[in-house]
Amino acid sequence: MREIPRVVIVGGGFGGLATAKALKHSPVEVILIDRTNHHLFQPLLYQVATSVLAPGQIGSPIRGILGKQQNASVILGEVTGIDKDRRCVIVNSADRADVPVPYDYLILATGVTHSYFGHNEFEKFAPGLKTLADAVAIRNRILSAFELAEAEEDPVRHRDLLTFVLVGAGPTGVEMASAIAILVRNTLAREFRRVNPRTARIILLDMAPRVLGTFAEGLSESARDRLQALGVEVRLGHAVEQIDADGVVVAGERIASKTVIWTAGVAPSPAGKWLNVATDRAGRVRIQPDLSVPRHAEIFVIGDTASLDQDGKPLPGVAQVAMQQGRYAGDLIHQWVIDGPAPKPFRYFDKGNMAVVGKNFAVLQSGKIHLGGFVAWLAWAGIHLQFLGQSSLRLSVFVQWVWTYLTGQRGSRLIVNHYGPERTKQEPTEAPAQLISSNK
């Protein structure tokens, strides 16, 4: 071990950042490695995808967040493997490949990616929502659909372009569907002349029998009623059979659509493969009650990419779990290096779950408290503001929300393709589209 022990943290999301901060006053060297330069507040990604917020309002440079923490440094790079025997992580950066970065303690907090449940061919036609690039690509798709429709003569193409399908009725699907409904019925409706955005169809699909399946049944029902009041068609109980350039097939019926968004499954990062250790069925690393990997007391896996049961049930993949585990791992390492007493095994304190369904309505479940409506919506807004990384973001998001609430105007409705033209490109139609004729 080095004279000053080195803690390498892979991932600057909720878990990794919480560990780094917990080690602020420890006699250790912290190296945080992330493949992006920013910490992302994923719970508000759907607001970037639906033009309420700009990307810069929900992401902060990790280097800036840790700027005042003298014992922490940040490396922009992608971890591709781990050598447990030599105790180093293998990192690729923009100009160097396979660079070993040695550690004394290692924290893996690499989160999840999309899972298409064995149908990876769906990805090309139904992008998921996980990163800022995903959110901007989806925003481009939604806004481009209206632009194409406005310039299109063929009413059949209007229908296909203005049909938006979301696959997966968990919190992300519900929040996206309701936000698209408000975008098209309020903001866009005023600005288009040749198509009527109010006629857009928004369809939310799930194979489960109810929306927001992790919430109590009463809250699921009120969320579904609210979605329907916003004009969202909710179709449950059937798995999607096909997704292609022309739309989706569900329960044998084809729904023609040029914009399909995947809000269904997630798969963990390859941390289990890097470590070559036991995983659960989803591929998440099975960890011990002190969050370490069996037979490797110096390696911890936390957050979405870890699997730990509490009271007979697996902990959910939510930000609170990742943050509490991050803090715990940091405290544990601190106690070790100062020869202090080891903390008790990790225990998750569940503060509750929330999902927002359009304007003025959210559902909130915390212990025996089940709330649906305006009060829950206020609580949702307050808590999300509180958890945003930096005070400048809190102020900027608050001002934007008030402005959007009062005027219906959105923060960012630009179609910008520099994040990934492949994903934003509309698939070509078989018949050439009819553009605005010259006599109109």
The residue within the footprint of ligand FAD, chosen from 322, 337, 357, 388 (CB under 6 A), is 322
CA-based radius of gyration for the chain: 23
Two tokens at 279? 């995983």
Strand residue runs (E) in 56-200: 59-61, 72-76, 78-83, 88-92, 99-102, 105-108, 112-115, 163-167
Task: Indicate whether 231 belongs to the interface with ligand FAD (CB under 6 A).
Answer: no
Closest approach of ligand FAD to the CB of residue 381, in Å: 12
The residue within the footprint of ligand FAD, chosen from 7, 82, 90, 129 (CB under 6 A), is 129
Find the angle CA(341)-CA(345)-CA(346) to the nearest 5 degrees. Answer: 120
**For residues 115 and 320, which CB has a smaller minimum distance to ligand FAD in the complex?**
320
Task: Indicate whether 318 belongs to the interface with ligand FAD (CB under 6 A).
Answer: yes
**For residues 35 and 370, which CB has a smaller minimum distance to ligand FAD in the complex?**
35
Alpha-helix runs per DSSP H in 240-348: 271-275, 319-337
Sign of the alpha-carbon torsion through 133, 178, 151, 147: negative
Two tokens at 28? 């250790």
Asked whether 262 and 128 are in contact (CB, 8 A), the reply is yes
Residue 419 CB neighbour total at 10 angstroms: 17
Task: Choose the binding region for ligand FAD from 6-14, 220-228, 230-238, 291-299 (rule: CB under 6 A).
Answer: 6-14
Task: Indicate whether 284 belongs to the interface with ligand FAD (CB under 6 A).
Answer: no
Task: Indicate whether 12 belongs to the interface with ligand FAD (CB under 6 A).
Answer: yes
Integer Cα distance of 335 and 200 in angstroms: 57
Task: Indicate whether 13 belongs to the interface with ligand FAD (CB under 6 A).
Answer: yes
Integer Cα distance of 285 and 278 in angstroms: 6
The residue within the footprint of ligand FAD, chosen from 111, 173, 268, 272 (CB under 6 A), is 111
Active site residue 175: yes
Closest approach of ligand FAD to the CB of residue 388, in Å: 12
The residue within the footprint of ligand FAD, chosen from 32, 109, 275, 364 (CB under 6 A), is 109
Task: Indicate whether 134 belongs to the interface with ligand FAD (CB under 6 A).
Answer: no
Task: Choose the binding region for ligand FAD from 1-9, 32-40, 246-254, 399-407 (rule: CB under 6 A).
Answer: 32-40
Closest approach of ligand FAD to the CB of residue 194, in Å: 33
Q: Which of 78, 150, 175, 422 is catalytic?
A: 175
Integer Cα distance of 160 and 144 in angstroms: 13
**For residues 288 and 320, which CB has a smaller minimum distance to ligand FAD in the complex?**
320
Two tokens at 66? 């840790």
**For residues 52 and 162, which CB has a smaller minimum distance to ligand FAD in the complex?**
52
Classified as helix, coil or strand, 18 is helix
Total residues interacting with ligand FAD, rule: CB under 6 A? 33
The residue within the footprint of ligand FAD, chosen from 43, 127, 168, 197 (CB under 6 A), is 43
At 284, give phi and psi (nearest 5°).
-80, 145
Task: Indicate whether 272 belongs to the interface with ligand FAD (CB under 6 A).
Answer: no
Integer Cα distance of 389 and 65 in angstroms: 8
The residue within the footprint of ligand FAD, chosen from 50, 172, 222, 307 (CB under 6 A), is 172
Sign of the alpha-carbon torsion through 135, 139, 140, 142: positive
The binding site for ligand FAD (CB under 6 A) comprises 10-16, 33-36, 42-43, 45-46, 78-79, 109-111, 129-130, 171-172, 269, 303-305, 317-320, 322
Catalytic positions: 175
